[in-house]
Structure 1
Amino acid sequence: MGRGKIEIKRIENNTNRQVTFCKRRNGLLKKAYELSVLCDAEVALICFSTRGRVYEYANTNIRSTIERYKRATSSSSSYTTQEINTQFYQQESKKLHQQIQMIQNFNSHLTGDGLASLSVKEMKQLETRLERGIARIRAKKHELILNETENLQKREIQLEQENACLRAKIAEYEKLQQLSMMPGGQDYAMQAYLSGNVLQLNMMQAAVYPIMDRKVLPLGTMAV
């Protein structure tokens, strides 16, 4: 069942009228707040109850808003559109200066300056923000250190492999130099180098194709 339409007229029952006033007043104040935030509008709301109590809301100084309203609606006012825009931009500039001042004060508080104007509660809030910021900074620093350490370890392994390869090549070169100085000259050294490669090839073939029926011959005899 949907809500039925309510006839807009004065509520005769005092209790019901007071309850309706409280509910609709809160809704009106909420709508005024939402309008000022969503649309960045300058809003001022004044409401008097039947008992003479006043309820008001303004996102800026309510008196300045009323004065602005008087200037805008005054019959003797001769403000041009340019002057109204100038006033608007002056107010916007004032707001921006206030925001800049707040940011500058906050930055000085972060460095430990200008703390005399803060209360104990505000100092606790500032301390909590600093601790959270330091925790995030330390976590990011730890992550960067781990990544850098991992990269250095990989580089170390790569350099060790390259170093081992170079040592093997140097040892092979020195061995060939020694063989070339022996009787037989360079031909002997080349034969030794080739025989070493052939020996390695035979060892690989023996590992892949093992000889199952090799005959054992006495020392000094040859197989036919």
Structure 2
Amino acid sequence: MGRGKIEIKRIENTSSRQVTFSKRRNGLLKKANELAVLCDAQVGVIIFSSTGKMFEFCSPLSNLQCLIDKYQKHVSVQGEGFGARQQLMYEMKRMEAENDKLEVLIRQYLGKDLTSFCLNDMIQLEQQLESSIDKVRKRKEEVLSQQLTNLRRKENILEDQNNYLYRMMPDNHAMVAIDQKPGPSAMMDLFGGVYQQDGVNEFPAYRLQPMQPNLQQVGFMSHDLQL
């Protein structure tokens, strides 16, 4: 007949408990050794009895202290990753709540979802909108004033360039001279006539030639004289 199933609970008898501990401990250490050898695994076992006595086992070609350090490092890395994930999840939830709040405010500013508003909320919202409108108008006036100043500056620059190009045109030198010397003397100076400078009349090298008489008329007059 097979052995009956033992109930897993604390053994009240001290001697029986000590015997069971010794047997199970040896069996556990044996299984740990088999696992390390068969599967090429790093196994470490630490056991403390009820009296405080320590029993340990470490897989061959390994050190129990090295296994403990490796375990602590692995746990700390996992803990940091878990903490980072928790922080990221918290930040995402906070941003989602903030986004929902902003969407509600936008709908309220657009005049939507106002059924839950009381009179004080309506007055406060109206004041906020009026303040926002004043700020927008002030900014618009500043932008318009700046654009007007820039346009006036461009206008002055274009006017200066236009005047410079007009003075540089060769066909306008004569007109400029006429504008500087108004009167008949300037016209005579322009076309080579007589002009007066420092009280002295200067004549250019031009002479007036009388028109030739009509030869027929001259002949007719001589014939009358002979008669």
Task: Provide TM-score, normalisation by structure 2.
Answer: 0.36
Task: Provide TM-score, normalisation by structure 1.
Answer: 0.36
